[in-house]
Chain A
């Protein structure tokens, strides 16, 4: 739930509760006040009637508004009382609720009881009008709060959301710097400062780690060159016996592997550093044909049937070196893991390249790992296990979509450019 919605919801709930409580209180207060006022009026009217009588005016009864009755027996003390009573009103033709005030007066020897009454407004009438007015004002208040909340949110939280969207974009391998906005709200400023210092620290550590890997790979090149060249010189000696040659052969073979691993790791780090900036329009069809020409011997070696379908001319923008490596790696993979007398189908569409080859099916576990660094389908294979990882790196760094399918002895790689 978004902070805005959460806080709005709380506002609404609290408002409703307050609305209910205040409605009841208000109703109670209003009825209490009105009753008081009424009682006061009844008392005054009662007294007024008595005054008229005491000045010898002839006062007729006006039921149910006032009634004068003579009491035969005088009560021992002056009596007055309020009460609610139901009386049939012939004007309204209905039984109505009246408030009544009774008081006994002594006038000479006579004892008079004067009753004054007033019709009571029905309670639900009060309730309706009071409830409606309170409800409307609260509704307005809630709408106002929600709108205001939204406006305040947009303003106050703007920096926060901006920084959040910036933080989402973080990638240490990208060269783009993350710029966070300063805020005049202390909490947000703290958050920004902490995020920034954390980012800097992480980035520095990432960079130093990366630099180390690169430097290590670079520094390994020269010793490798010296070892390899020394072995090559050693092999020029025709007097060495066969057993020693076997040892040297093993050293030479493994130096070669080291060389390839190192070279490919350097390549991967360069791809991830986006160091291939020579972007130009590239005709994939042409490049593919060129590479196939180079790989022809390998394809023939395994008696592989090659079928190329170029449905369209695929021209993309990118680094020629990288595209060459991408296609070469996919094709050598398709050759290496093919069966004898197998097949390779290549298809170029308007925006995609598909390479399909026959080969042994992989288990689900293996399928997931196929693009992993140093993953090899068989342990006895002397390949380095970086070819498809490089393909993956190139696709990722250029935002190409890479798909892989494997079923019924067919392996299918599709790249959407």
Chain B
């Protein structure tokens, strides 16, 4: 899986690069419009992570170019501008997803994995992890091939964990992933705990190993 990261902030670029390398992607990174353009002439990428606000050009123009010359590449826009116009323009021009800075790295991974899943859907929408099997298309979960009923939120939660296997996910990232970032929960994450407890209970009662670990009261880790 080849990923191109177009991000002018050196620190952020590095962070995304390290993250994706850890997740076993093949990653190229560039810091400006010109280099991104050159990379796109030489290579094909499965996923392009594109910052719109580049110092030497608007990422939205690059988007046009990608859609014409690389119709198979998926694009995730990352932008500091949380403006609806930009978001709509980006998605209108063929971007697959849009993330506003600052975002959680676990959210970025989950978005990339979702895109990859969507791409490879033909015949490959089953996700297997030991005794746990997830059919993403029909939103069904199987433990040792016996179906386990989960609520919509529990299913989303499980998928988020599996997308970020072996990564510590903070409660904050979980809350934002499940409820969006319009809701201000800062003072209370108890209800997340309730969801996790329910999910854990359902999984273990169905005979699944307890893969969800609580880390320092800060977050959770799956795997």
Give 8 closest A-B pairs by Cβ, nearest first: A225-B102, A221-B80, A297-B191, A225-B101, A301-B191, A226-B11, A382-B187, A224-B102
Number of A-B contacts (CB under 8 A): 109
Residues of A within 8 A of B215 (CB): 235
**A binding-site residues for B, Cβ under 8 Å:** 218, 221-222, 224-226, 228-230, 232-233, 235-236, 242, 245, 249, 252, 256-257, 259-260, 263-264, 266-267, 270, 275-276, 278, 294-295, 297-298, 300-301, 321, 324-325, 328-329, 332, 336, 381-384, 387
**From residue A235, how far is it (CB to closest CB) to chain B in Å?**
5
5 example contacts (A-B, Cβ-Cβ < 8 A) are as follows A229-B15, A252-B218, A256-B172, A256-B186, A264-B184
Our pick among B102, B180, B216 for the contact of A221 (Cβ within 8 Å) is: B102
> Contacts A266-B82, A381-B187 hold; do A232 and B194 have CB atoms under 8 A apart?
no
B105 within 8 A of A: yes
Our pick among A229, A230, A236, A266 for the contact of B167 (Cβ within 8 Å) is: A236
Q: Is the CB–CB distance between B187 and A249 below 8 Å?
A: no
Closest residue of A by beta carbon distance from B13: A226
**From residue B180, how far is it (CB to closest CB) to chain A in Å?**
8
Q: How far is the CA of A224 from the CA of B102 in the complex (A)?
A: 6
Q: Is the CB–CB distance between B187 and A260 below 8 Å?
A: no
Residues of B within 8 A of A328 (CB): 182-183
**From residue B170, how far is it (CB to closest CB) to chain A in Å?**
7
B64 within 8 A of A: no
Q: Is the CB–CB distance between A222 and B80 below 8 Å?
A: yes
Residues of A within 8 A of B104 (CB): 228-229, 232
Q: How far is the CA of A245 from the CA of B173 in the complex (A)?
A: 18
Closest residue of B by beta carbon distance from A230: B15
Q: Is the CB–CB distance between B84 and A276 below 8 Å?
A: yes
Residues of A within 8 A of B181 (CB): 263
Q: Is the CB–CB distance between A332 and B82 below 8 Å?
A: no
Our pick among B101, B105, B182, B185 for the contact of A324 (Cβ within 8 Å) is: B182
Other A-B pairs, 11, CB within 8 Å; known A232-B106, A233-B105, A329-B184: A226-B9, A229-B12, A232-B104, A233-B19, A235-B168, A298-B185, A301-B188, A325-B182, A332-B184, A336-B187, A382-B186
Q: Is the CB–CB distance between B102 and A298 below 8 Å?
A: no
Closest residue of B by beta carbon distance from A301: B191
Q: Is the CB–CB distance between A233 and B195 below 8 Å?
A: no
Q: How far is the CA of A242 from the CA of B85 in the complex (A)?
A: 44
Residues of B within 8 A of A294 (CB): 179-180, 183
Q: How far is the CA of A245 from the CA of B182 in the complex (A)?
A: 28
Residues of B within 8 A of A257 (CB): 186
Q: Is the CB–CB distance between A235 and B11 below 8 Å?
A: no
Residues of B within 8 A of A297 (CB): 153, 191, 194-195
Q: Is the CB–CB distance between A221 and B186 below 8 Å?
A: no
Q: How far is the CA of A324 from the CA of B183 in the complex (A)?
A: 10
Q: Is the CB–CB distance between A384 and B12 below 8 Å?
A: no
Q: Is the CB–CB distance between B219 and A235 below 8 Å?
A: yes
Near A by CB (< 8 A), chain B positions 43-91 give 80-85
Residues of A within 8 A of B219 (CB): 235
> Contacts A235-B215, A263-B82 hold; do A222 and B101 have CB atoms under 8 A apart?
yes
Q: Is the CB–CB distance between B218 and A226 below 8 Å?
A: no
Q: Is the CB–CB distance between A229 and B216 below 8 Å?
A: no
Closest residue of B by beta carbon distance from A336: B187
Closest residue of B by beta carbon distance from A331: B183
Near A by CB (< 8 A), chain B positions 96-153 give 101-106, 153
**From residue A302, how far is it (CB to closest CB) to chain B in Å?**
9
B18 within 8 A of A: yes
Residues of A within 8 A of B82 (CB): 263, 266-267
Q: Is the CB–CB distance between B83 and A275 below 8 Å?
A: yes
Residues of B within 8 A of A230 (CB): 11, 15
Q: Mark B153-173, 1 if CB is under 8 A from A, else 0.
A: 100000000000001101011
Residues of B within 8 A of A259 (CB): 102
Q: How far is the CA of A32 from the CA of B198 in the complex (A)?
A: 119
Q: How far is the CA of A381 from the CA of B84 in the complex (A)?
A: 31
Q: How far is the CA of A243 from the CA of B14 in the complex (A)?
A: 28
Identify which of B15, B18, B181 gathers the most chain A CB atoms within 10 Å of its CB: B15
Residues of A within 8 A of B80 (CB): 218, 221-222, 225
B42 within 8 A of A: no
B92 within 8 A of A: no
> Contacts A225-B12, A232-B104, A297-B191 hold; do A245 and B184 have CB atoms under 8 A apart?
no
Residues of A within 8 A of B81 (CB): 218
Closest residue of A by beta carbon distance from B106: A232
Q: How far is the CA of A362 from the CA of B185 in the complex (A)?
A: 22
Closest residue of B by beta carbon distance from A232: B105
**From residue A360, how far is it (CB to closest CB) to chain B in Å?**
15
Residues of B within 8 A of A236 (CB): 167-168
**From residue A391, how far is it (CB to closest CB) to chain B in Å?**
12
**From residue A413, how far is it (CB to closest CB) to chain B in Å?**
17
Residues of B within 8 A of A381 (CB): 187
**From residue A382, how far is it (CB to closest CB) to chain B in Å?**
5
**From residue B203, how far is it (CB to closest CB) to chain A in Å?**
19
Residues of B within 8 A of A324 (CB): 182
Residues of A within 8 A of B172 (CB): 252, 256
Residues of A within 8 A of B85 (CB): 275
Q: How far is the CA of A229 from the CA of B15 in the complex (A)?
A: 7
Residues of B within 8 A of A224 (CB): 101-102
